A and B are shown apart, each in its own frame.
Chain A
Amino acid sequence: DAGVIQSPRHEVTEMGQEVTLRCKPISGHNSLFWYRQTMMRGLELLIYFNNNVPIDDSGMPEDRFSAKMPNASFSTLKIQPSEPRDSAVYFCASSLLQYNEQFFGPGTRLTVL
């Protein structure tokens, strides 16, 4: 069974550009989570969905960030416009139920110049 799939694995962009990160959760999982990891701030929960519905987006840093989950097998995290301080590794994770263990994707390493 394929795990959580994220694309791209690496993204280098210039300040002001739009960035879209993609995630395909494990088939059958109904909860999806977006995290950001930096040395300074550690592993932060940005937003999570349950049955494709956003439940908690209080971790989204600001309006430049948006996330969607149009169906059970796909989610996007968009940053527009991007800034150098957005540079981080972004992880997507999914779980079968809200309270179960989370399976993390390999992450997208974003560098904003």
Chain B
Amino acid sequence: QQPVQSPQAVILREGEDAVINCSSSKALYSVHWYRQKHGEAPVFLMILLKGGEQKGHDKISASFNEKKQQSSLYLTASQLSYSGTYFCGTVLSGGYNKLIFGAGTRLAVHP
């Protein structure tokens, strides 16, 4: 049931773009994205509900493809502050709000 995230790790230079993917084998109700910096708690970025909507948060945006049960997180013109581990969490359709997190994608942004 755990969603699959890819890639496992990304290394960027400041200003470069990245895409992080999250896929599920089951029908999804929603996808959550969180970022966790080392030694800190996960911090909420955004929620996407089924319907294929796309959301944005500064230069970070995400999409949700309901047919493919996939979500992608887009990081544009990356900044040093973007470094951390990104987790997607999925909520299955027809169930309670049981958020299952993926294994995470480590992102390192260098000057």
Residues of A at the B interface (CB closer than 8 Å) are: 31, 33, 42-45, 48, 50, 55-56, 91, 95, 98-107
Chain B's interface size range is: 20 to 34
Closest 3 pairs (CB-CB, A-B): A98-B97, A104-B41, A101-B44
A sample of 15 inter-chain contacts (CB < 8 A) reads A31-B97, A33-B99, A42-B2, A42-B101, A42-B102, A43-B87, A55-B96, A56-B96, A56-B98, A91-B42, A99-B30, A99-B47, A104-B43, A105-B41, A106-B41
Render B73-111 as a binary contact track against A, CB cut-off 8 A, 1 for contact: 000000000000001000100001111111110000000
CB within 8 Å of A: which residues of B?
Answer: 2, 29-30, 32, 40-44, 47, 87, 91, 96-104
